[in-house]
Amino acid sequence: MNLNSKHKIEAAFSMSSMTDVIFLLLIFFMLTASFITPSGLPVNLPSSKSSEIVIQKVSVTITDDLQYYVDDRKVTYNQLEPVLRDAFSGKEGVVVLHCDKSVPVEHVVNVAGIATALEARVSIATKPN
């Protein structure tokens, strides 16, 4: 009685499908990592219990020495309204305020008032606790 099979099964493992999966995962993580857009200017943001991510359209930064920046471009307080008006031309007005926590509330309210007068939505950037 002959128990040997005519068809030999090779016990080798093909790594080509594993490398395809790894390559696809690498592409996925590279693409999703670019969706996070950090603010370019380092300010000490206040903390809050709930921090919601808002897609930035226009970023206004107020530093601790009361310097104003619109999308990383330094402007004066008097130039703020025309620069924001130009930034909103043809787009939905969304302003994200990046204010240092030592900035007086008066300056934050003034910038929010300018944005509201231009019919823009205003949100304040915070860091989670």
Give, to the nearest 10 degrees, the angle between helix 80-87 and helix 105-117.
50
Is residue 47 within 8 A of residue 83, CB to CB? The reply is no
Quick: pLDDT tens for 73-92: 899 999 998 998 888 876 77
84: enclosing H helix or E strand: helix 80-87
pTM recorded for the entire structure? 0.59
Residue among 128, 55, 66, 64 nearest 93 (CA): 55
Domains observed in the chain: 47-128 (3.30.420)
pLDDT digits (tens, 9 = 90+) for 6-65: 777 777 777 778 888 999 999 988 887 766 555 556 666 666 666 555 565 788 899 889
